[in-house]
Structure 1
Amino acid sequence: MEKKVIHAALLGFGTVGTGVYKVLKNQEEEMEAKLGSVVRIKKIMVRNLEKAAVKVEDPSVLTNNWEEIVNDPDIDIIIELMGGMEPARTYILAALEAGKHVVSANKDLIAVYGKELLDMAETHHVDFLFEAAVAGGIPIIRPLKQCLAGNHMKEVMGIVNGTTNFILTKMTQDKMEFKEALALATELGYAEADPTADIEGLDAGRKVAILASVAFNSRVVFDDVYIEGITKISAKDISYAKEMGCDIKLLGVARNTEEGIEAYVCPMLIPSTHPLASVNDSYNAVFVNGDAVENAMFFGRGAGELPTASAVVGDIFDIARNMKANCCARIGCTCYKTIPVKKMADTRNCYFLRLQVEDRCGVLAEMTAVFAKYHVSVAQIIQKQAKPNESAEIVVITGKVREGDFRTAMEELSGRSFVHKISSMLRVYGE
């Protein structure tokens, strides 16, 4: 049934919640022309009523009582921006069960419980939308589900964490070491007081699980994603990568192969000619490859008050249009396949290896003999002149090899007396 006014409730009124409130206010005059109805915030659930009162025109919309929202028959859409697992999961399930549509930006929750939430939405014939859960203001979930639905997607990969991209940009452009770049990111507000989720790759891992599920129509959860962070990257690694025609980026990669889905997050060398190599500072970009569209890239702000709010409000507007046309729940869970997720040991990549070795004749031959034993070929090699009484430094980029074989080669190599230290081991992105 058509509604001129659609009432919504916000759960959480932090950075993104405030942004959603602002964007809806800014759209008020044009909303009826766009949607055939007006979306109004009837309730905002907050922890501290007094603190939140200064941010709203009418403090009577504020509440700390969930029951006031879920039991209000006038509220059609609930916008969950609390984050975390609980009580967000309980609230969303209750809202869907009550026949209310839900918009969420909660990547942590969706990467683990996405199937449960989407199944509940389908059961009660309501919408559960989550565009803002991946890459902030960049549209990617809806394009994968709708605009690119005519494709069999082969790969979705990209830079999906702005904090780590800012850090690596500063390390590259200003030759900072990791700790110095992290301190700057914290000072400028790009990094949280506890940056673990960002710098250890956990945030990106959750987004990769969601992207893989949507792109390949098969459920991938957070625990399926192999994750490495950027804490061990040094300015020297970045300098060598540049010398070899590459940049280092924290990439989230999801591939649909004949043997199963590959899903991982790790710092990787990427050719400086690749479009993602020029994505700097806190920007995000997602690169997709499908059998019909071939390559496409989505670029923009991956976080922040208004960019993320833009994605949330887009979902709200989508629901409002569905309500007007009486076609809610037309696109729900798209995971109709069951494709296995490969173990990381069975993936194939090229590798960047930096190691300190004994400075004498024959070391390269001994090293390549170990490589050959495990089918590791050498594509590029750099050897720097050692100072007297110091180790020689060798940098190698290998050909494509199964990761399990490469790791076995590394174990054997690290036990050889001529190897003093394996300083870095990074993957190299390739098709």
Structure 2
Amino acid sequence: MKIGILGLGTVGGGVWDILSTTKFQEYDIKVKTALVRNKSKYISYEEQGLNLTLDPYEILNDPEIDTVVEVMGGIDKPYEYIKYALSQGKHVVTANKAVLAKHMEEFLALAKNNNAALLYEASVGGGIPLIKPLKQNARINNFYEISGILNGTSNFILSKMSKEGLEFADVLKQAQEKGYAEQDPSDDIDGTDMARKISVLSSTIFKKHLPLEHIQINGIRHIEKQDMDIAKKAGCDIKLIAKSNYENNNYKAAVEPVILKQNSIFAQVSDEYNIGMAKGDNLSEVSFYGEGAGRYATANAVVSDLLDIYNHEAIEHLAVDFSSTKVNPILADYYVRLNDTNKIEELKAKLSSYNLINLHKGAFIAEKITSSEIKNYADEINVANQNYFIARLDDALIPSELL
């Protein structure tokens, strides 16, 4: 196997490091060329025998390279390169959930038509072996739910807020200083990253593609210390959770903050760690837990995929249904908090047909509603910059427990 790596940053460098260890000398695996933006920055790799290039097509058109690892990030360029590689019959391993969520249909068709493998273990859950076992078990299980904490940045922020009683902005600054969060953390704190991952997971276990634009997304950008305080006072915690469900031929999918009891499995997952949990007819419940990000955790997942290709153990091509599907919002009890007392009275008036439970002057619970309905009513009364916080109550939590 000869490999070309598109991107030699954190993950790509980790892949090179792992494959360069003595334990891989028994395998006939060689990284031939890596795409970089600036050769002088990676001179140490060149000194170790790695060919560097500024031209991606030096890799994509190299007849000796049979497998391409894409760890660049972004969507447009990775789409172009993955599409080209698959069309040339090259195997592709990617950690890029953004490009997968948007272009999976085309990639799977190209992989099948050109007898190439498309593997993406590292795209969800970092170093957690998640995709492969789910693919294997989907052969003998009818899965009906997948859920999890699938973003280390948001979980780090919520964990610190809970443990140390800090405000969101202070913890976000810490996360950026430690390198856990990007300077623009929007994808992580607004839930977009997790929505892409739940889309990929849904395709894997339901064999049905749930488009990103159909997934209900609420992030944690507007959470405040007072929200966490209310939860902790009731023996609860708040986590950003992705959930996809299939029941009675109906799909539901959402990424949103959830208030849950501190003794729940998800509440025990702290800092940058992730968890995925699937439910099926034979496996009533199976969980996957581990480090959700990091140089070697993610690189380990990439190398695992490479070994599957090398050993001719790549799972067969997924047969995913990409026809249009209605994805319903989740009906549940929701915590709502606004700091503008006038606006919150207007919002409560809009929601008067629902059962409302007052927590204090700025917060209440609306029972048996969808978050999209709450957001629509908030938009009607022009809540400034959507500056309010809503969180779903976990099914095991009784609304009165927050009083």
Question: Which TM-score bucket, shorter chain as reference?
Answer: 0.7 to 0.9
The alpha carbon displacement at 1:175 in A equals 0.6
Q: 1:342 aligns with which of 327, 331, 338?
A: 327
Contact kept in structure 2, 1:53 and 1:59, CA below 8 Å = no
Contact kept in structure 2, 1:350 and 1:397, CA below 8 Å = yes
Q: CA RMSD in A?
A: 2.9
Give a deviation string over 1:158-212, Cα, whole Å, max 9, x none.
Answer: 1111111111111111110011010111111111122121111111111111111
The alpha carbon displacement at 1:230 in A equals 0.8
- Give, as a single letter, the amino acid of the residue that structure 1 aligns with 2:326: V
Q: 2:230 maps to which residue?
A: 240
Q: 1:427 maps to which residue?
A: 392
Q: 1:159 to 1:41 in 2, by over 3 A?
A: same
Q: 2:179 aligns with which of 181, 185, 189?
A: 189
SS in 2 for 1:273: coil
CA distance in 1, matches of 2:368, 2:144: 19
Q: 1:177 to 1:60 in 2, by over 3 A?
A: closer
The alpha carbon displacement at 1:311 in A equals 0.5
Contact kept in structure 2, 1:259 and 1:342, CA below 8 Å = no
SS in 2 for 1:90: helix
Q: TM-score, normalised by structure 2?
A: 0.88
CA distance in 1, matches of 2:19, 2:299: 9
Residues 47-62 of structure 1: pairs in structure 2 closer than 5 A: 47-59=37-49, 61-62=51-52
SS in 2 for 1:197: helix
CA distance in 1, matches of 2:347, 2:71: 53
Q: 2:129 maps to which residue?
A: 139
Q: 1:151 maps to which residue?
A: 141
Q: 2:400 maps to which residue?
A: none
* Alignment gaps of 5+ in structure 1: 1-5, 359-363, 384-392, 416-421
- Give, as a single letter, the amino acid of the residue that structure 1 aligns with 2:176: T
CA distance in 2, matches of 1:402, 1:71: 50
CA distance in 2, matches of 1:85, 1:411: 31
- Give, as a single letter, the amino acid of the residue that structure 1 aligns with 2:284: E
Residues 13-412 of structure 1: pairs in structure 2 closer than 5 A: 13-26=8-21, 28-30=22-24, 32=26, 37-59=27-49, 61-258=51-248, 260-322=250-312, 331-336=316-321, 338=323, 340-344=325-329, 347-354=330-337, 374=353, 376-377=354-355, 382-383=359-360, 393=361, 395-403=363-371
Q: 1:273 to 1:398 in 2, by over 3 A?
A: farther
Give a deviation string over 1:142-172, Cα, whole Å, max 9, x none.
Answer: 1111134322111111111111111111111
CA distance in 2, matches of 1:42, 1:16: 17
- Give, as a single letter, the amino acid of the residue that structure 2 aligns with 1:70: L
Count of residue correspondences: 392
- Give, as a single letter, the amino acid of the residue that structure 2 aligns with 1:118: L
SS in 2 for 1:331: coil
Contact kept in structure 2, 1:263 and 1:341, CA below 8 Å = no
Q: 1:188 to 1:402 in 2, by over 3 A?
A: closer
CA distance in 2, matches of 1:213, 1:240: 36
* Alignment gaps of 5+ in structure 2: 397-403
Q: 1:428 to 1:128 in 2, by over 3 A?
A: same
CA distance in 2, matches of 1:343, 1:231: 24
CA distance in 2, matches of 1:350, 1:244: 16
Q: TM-score, normalised by structure 1?
A: 0.83
SS in 2 for 1:165: helix
- Give, as a single letter, the amino acid of the residue that structure 2 aligns with 1:428: L
CA distance in 2, matches of 1:303, 1:134: 9
Q: 1:411 to 1:179 in 2, by over 3 A?
A: closer
Comparing 270-279 with 311-320, which one deviates more in the overlay?
A: 270-279
Q: 1:387 maps to which residue?
A: none
Contact kept in structure 2, 1:129 and 1:315, CA below 8 Å = yes
Q: 2:399 maps to which residue?
A: none
CA distance in 2, matches of 1:44, 1:173: 42
Contact kept in structure 2, 1:115 and 1:333, CA below 8 Å = no
Q: Percent identity?
A: 35
Comparing 255-264 with 400-409, which one deviates more in the overlay?
A: 400-409
CA distance in 2, matches of 1:93, 1:423: 41
Q: 1:429 to 1:75 in 2, by over 3 A?
A: same
Q: 1:83 to 1:377 in 2, by over 3 A?
A: same
